[in-house]
Amino acid sequence: MFVIRGTQKLLKEWETEPLHVDIYPPLNSWHAGLFLLNRRKNIVFMHDISRLSVTLFGIKKSQYKNLPALFVQALKELMISEGFDEQIVEAYTQEGGQMLATTTNRHSVMVTLDEIIFIMKELDMEHGCELEKNQWNNRIVFKTDQYKYPIDVFKELLEKHYQVESS
């Protein structure tokens, strides 16, 4: 199960009542925020540890009821395109089949999430498909990730986690 720590704006738009979740495995914890780009609503999800981001572009009101499935599908596509092991992709994305919505709790994650939103707005990100945009966003080095790409940190985390479980 994933915990989605949404901004107030996102939780209101999603029409979901946030649950109080204090402790949860960091591997399954994501922050999310809503932003406008070219008069379209977009949602960016950011993994708490690796700062990997997955953005859903052009979300319509009717799609909010399928938000967990849309997020997991976009995450799965990104992971496959980046050469993740198929078993790891399946194991991790299956955990995301259910989601708990709660409020944000880490300022450092929100600052990095805001940086990604700022970059997408400044570059206007109209070129390329959604997958290419998500790949590009995860090739930005953040200080919080010990100067590594978020995609590489995320891959290392999952490989370490699932190797331990399969031993």
Q: Domains for the chain: give ranges and CATH numbers.
A: 2-162 (3.30.420)
In terms of pLDDT, which residue wins out, 55 or 119? Answer: 55
pTM: 0.90
**Contact indicator for 89, 102 with CB cutoff of 8 Å:** no
Res. 151: pLDDT tops 60:
yes
The confidence score (pLDDT) of residue 143 equals 63
- Is residue 99 classed exposed, middle or buried when 0-12, 13-18 and 19+ CB atoms within 10 A define those classes? buried
**What CA–CA distance (Å, rounded) separates 69 from 3?**
14
Q: Which of 60-74, 81-95, 132-146 has the lowest mean pLDDT?
A: 132-146
pLDDT at 27 over 70: yes
Give residue 145's pLDDT band: very low, low, confident or very high (50, 70, 90): low
Across 27-46, average pLDDT: 93
- pLDDT for res 166: 45
Handedness of CA 70, 21, 10, 14 (dihedral sign): positive
What is the structure's pLDDT at 80? 96
Return the percentage of the chain with pLDDT > 70, whole number: 92
Tell whether the model's pLDDT for residue 113 goes beyond 50. Answer: yes
CB-based burial of residue 17 (10 Å sphere; 0-12 exposed, 13-18 middle, 19+ buried)? Answer: exposed
